[in-house]
Every structure is written in structure tokens, then in C-alpha cells.
């Protein structure tokens, strides 16, 4: 399994922060499994600048990537999804999603998927149903819209930009990168800020 993060200008830093931090550090990941690397990909290897003003340099051009079944592709939110240069990755998604590559899209990325028709027959969420209908004239997936912070439908994970924790939880759950008891303690710790979940998290690591 390989983990790819698509980076584009105005990337919304906070929407993927939990996810990228845990995948990159590996601190709570299941150590019985092969370590994964977070690979940053872009339309070129030219640096992009996030919404927070942080410069990120892609590791690879998307033209050089061969996605395989079980790989994870993370599509963060951004204000630039409608720009022409970002249509290439959505074209790629429309083909690899049927090859069982795991697609995790949040906020503005869900709008880009909706515009391509990818959400028309798959359960999904976004920032709001009316937002999808407003910005996506050809969107026809209203019957599949679920008003939840994050939704998983087989190998498609979608999330609201207001729910980075829930989005990250769904991605980590779908990919099995953490043991179940570790993931549940991790999620509850950040969700509730209750110390008991920190000790449960540490206990889950000791039992590995």
C-alpha cells in the first residue's frame, strides 16, 4: 500500500493535518504491518503554497505515478479546485476509483468530484448538499448524499471541511493503518479531551 497526498495551491492545511501527521510519523500505526510513506504528488514538482502560507514541494509529478489497488489518494480542500491544472487528477480519479484505489476527498475536493459525476451513484457527504447543487450544475447524486461529517462508501471517503478529525478517523479506519483499539482511543482523545483515552491509547500500543 502506498499513500499519496495531492498538493495544490491554497491547500487547506487543517483539513488533513491529523491524517498527515499520523501517517508521516507512524507513531500510532500498527507496527505489525509494513510501514507506509506519505508521498506528495502534484501537477509538477514545482512548490505550492498552502492557505496557511506554508510551501510544500511535491515528491513526484502525477504523470509518473501508477496507482494500484489498495493505495490511498488524499485530496485536500483548496480554493483552486476549479482551475484547469487540477482537472487532470480528477480525470485520473474517475478511472482509478473503479480499480479499488482508496479515494479520500474533503471539502473543495468533493465539489471537484461532484462536477465530474463521481458522486452521482456513491454515498457521500460534503460541506453541504446545497453547496454541491449550487456549484455543480450536473450533480445528480442528491439521493446518495448523507448529512454526516464524513462518509465511507467502499473505497470512497468524503468529508466536510469542518470535520477534519472525523474525516481522518474514517480514512484510518478504512485503511486499517491503526489497530482498532488504538484508533478508537485516538479518536476519542481528540474528540473529548478526556485523559482516560490517552491512557487507553498508550495501553493499546503496549499490547502490540
Angle at Cα 29 formed by Cα 108 and Cα 181, nearest 5°? 95
Does 106 have pLDDT greater than 80?
yes
pLDDT given at position 22: 98
User: pLDDT tens across 58-74, in order?
Assistant: 999 999 999 999 999 99
Q: Among residues 105, 107, 113, 178, which one is catalytic? A: 107
Cell of 179: 489497530
End-to-end CA distance of the chain: 21
Q: What is the DSSP string of 41-100?
A: EESSSS-EE-TTS-EE--SEEGGG----TT-EEEE---TTTTSGGGHHHHHHHHHHGGGT
CA distance 171 to 17: 13
Residue spans of the domains in the chain: they are: 3-177, 179-208
pLDDT given at position 208: 59
Is 136 one of the catalytic residues?
no
User: pLDDT tens across 1-34, in order?
Assistant: 999 999 999 999 999 999 999 999 999 999 999 9
User: pLDDT tens across 129-181, in order?
Assistant: 999 999 999 899 999 999 999 999 999 999 999 999 999 999 999 999 999 99
Domain 3-177 has CATH 3.40.50.880: yes
Amino acid at each position: 500500500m502506498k499513500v499519496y497526498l495531492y498538493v495544490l495551491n491554497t491547500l487547506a492545511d487543517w483539513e488533513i493535518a491529523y491524517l498527515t501527521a499520523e501517517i508521516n510519523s507512524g507513531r500510532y500505526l500498527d507496527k505489525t504491518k509494513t510501514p507506509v510513506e506519505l508521498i506528495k504528488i502534484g501537477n509538477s514538482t514545482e512548490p505550492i503554497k498552502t492557505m496557511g502560507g506554508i510551501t510544500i514541494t511535491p515528491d513526484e509529478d502525477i504523470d509518473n505515478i501508477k496507482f494500484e489497488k489498495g493505495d490511498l489518494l488524499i485530496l485536500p480542500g483548496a480554493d483552486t479546485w476549479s482551475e484547469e491544472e487540477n482537472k487532470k487528477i480528477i480525470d485520473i480519479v474517475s478511472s482509478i476509483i473503479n480499480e479499488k484505489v482508496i479515494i479520500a476527498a474533503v471539502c473543495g475536493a468533493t465539489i471537484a468530484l461532484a462536477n465530474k459525476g463521481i458522486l452521482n451513484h456513491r454515498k457521500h457527504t460534503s460541506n453541504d448538499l446545497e453547496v454541491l447543487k449550487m456549484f455543480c450544475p450536473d450533480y445528480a447524486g442528491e439521493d446518495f448524499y448523507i448529512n454526516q461529517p464524513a462518509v465511507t462508501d467502499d473505497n470512497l471517503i468524503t468529508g466536510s471541511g469542518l470535520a477534519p478529525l472525523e474525516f481522518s478517523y474514517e480514512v484510518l479506519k478504512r485503511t486499517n493503518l491503526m489497530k482498532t483499539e488504538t484508533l478508537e482511543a485516538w479518536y476519542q482523545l481528540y474528540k473529548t479531551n478526556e485523559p482516560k483515552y490517552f491512557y487507553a491509547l498508550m495501553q493499546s500500543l503496549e499490547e502490540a
